Amino acid sequence: MAGIKVTDEERIVPTLCKPAIDLPEFVVTHDETVDMTERVHADHPQLALALRLIRNVGVAKRHIVLPVAEALRHPGLAVRNATYEREAKSRIPQVVAEALGNAGVRPGDIDALIVVSCTGFVMPSLTAWMVNTLGFPRHVAQIPIAQLGCAAGGSSINRAHDYCVSHPGRNVLVVACEFCSLCYQPDDLDVGNLLSNALFGDAIAAAVMLGNGGTGISIEAHCSYILPGTEKWIAYEVRETGFHFMLDKRVPDTMRAVTPVCQEFVAEHGWNMSDLDYYIIHTGGPKVLSTLRDQADIREERLEYSRTTLRERGNIASASIFDVARRIFDSADTKPGDTFLIGGFGPGITAELAVGTWR
C-alpha cells in the first residue's frame, strides 16, 4: 500500500490483553438529550435539523463525570481543566489495577506508559503522576498522545506494539482518559456542535500490551493513513472558553474513502476483509459503521459489539475501541486463530488500523 508501512509479521508478535473500563456514575439518556436540546436551544433557527440528527445518532445513553445541571454550565476553562485533572486522578488507579490484573502483571512489570486524551490538558503528563503514585518503575518510558482525538485509541495500540517489537520482552500499559462532557460549549450554536453534544460520552479505559505470552489479540501488522484534504473536518478551535469541537457535515461520508484503505491493508496481510471473525471499530456514529458494513460486505452481526458500545456509551473518543474489545473478551466466543481488524478514526482524517489473531 503506497505511503503506508506495515510491520513484518515474522517479527515479535505482542499481545493486547483484556481492557478495563471505568464509566462515570452520572447518566444522560437519549430522551433527556432531546428534551435538553429543545429547551436550551428553543429559538435556534436550525433546531429541527439538529433534532433530526440527534434522534438518528443511535445513542440510548451516555455517562458523564458531572451531574447534568453542572455539565450544562460553563464555569470557565480553568475550572473545567481542574475538574478533568481531579476526575482523572480519582478514577485512573482502579481501571489501571483491573487492566494489570487482566494481564497477570504488576506495576513493576510495565516498561512504558501511554496515556491518550483530547479532552483536558495536564503537564507534566498524567504518566509522571502515575509513576509517582501507582508504583510504576522510575525508568518507565512516558508516551503521552494528546492531539489524535478518537483515532488515538488505535494509535496507542500501534505505538504499544512498536515499543514491544523494538524492546523484546517488555510490556506497555495504555490508558485512554476522555471526559468529552467537559468540552460542552453552551453558547456554541453550530449544528455540528449540537450533534456532538448528543453523541459523545465520558470514560476511562486501560489495557496492557505484553511483549511475550498472554491471552488476547496478537497484533501482527498495523498502518496509519491520512485522508488528503480533510485536516479541518474534525478539529478543535481554541477560544477563551476552551475547546470548541468543529465537525464538518462531510465527516460521516469519509468512510467511503477510508474503507478501501482498510480493505487494501487487510489484503496485504493475506486476508479478505469481509471474512474476518471480529471487527473492533471506533464508534464514530451509525453511518460510519453502516458504510463500512456495506462497502466491505461485512455481516451486520459482526459489528454488533461496536453498535452496542455506541448505543450504551455513545462515542467515548479514544476509549471506544477498548470498550468494544472488552465486549469481545467477555463474550467467551473467541478461539485460537480467530482474525481481527482494529480501526480507530479521528482528526486528520486519520485512520489507525491493526490486524491480529486470537491466542
Q: pLDDT tens, 24-34?
A: 999 999 999 88
Q: In sequence order, what DSSP letters do the residues of 138-197 get, joined into one string? A: TTPEEEEE-S-GGGHHHHHHHHHHHHHHHSTT--EEEEEEEEGGGG--TT---HHHHHHH
10 has a pLDDT exceeding 70: no
- Check if the beta carbon of residue 131 is closer than 8 Å to that of residue 137: yes
Question: Which H/E stretch holds residue 41?
Answer: none
Task: Report the C-alpha gap between 51 and 129 in whole angstroms.
Answer: 42
Which tens digit of pLDDT belongs to each residue from 97-108?
A: 999 999 999 999
Block residue for cell numbers 453552551: 186
Q: 280 near 324, Cβ under 8 Å? A: yes
Check whether 37 has a pLDDT greater than 90. Answer: no
Phi, psi of 162 (to 5 degrees): -60, -40
- Residue 218 in contact with residue 7, Cβ under 8 Å? no
Whether pLDDT at 194 is above 70: yes
Closest alpha carbon to 193 in 313, 64, 49? 49
329 contact partners, CB below 8 Å, separation of at least 6 = 18, 19, 216
| pLDDT (tens digit per residue) in 242-262 | 888 888 888 878 899 999 999
For 132-163, write each residue's pLDDT tens digit. Answer: 999 999 999 999 999 898 999 999 999 999 99
Write down the pTM of the prediction.
0.93
Between strands 172-179 and 202-210, the pairing is antiparallel
Which carries the bigger pLDDT value, residue 233 or residue 316? 316
- Rounded Cα distance, 50 and 41, in Å: 10
Q: State the catalytic residues.
A: 150
Give the C-alpha distances (Å, rounded to integers) separating 42 from 34, 69, 93: 11, 18, 42
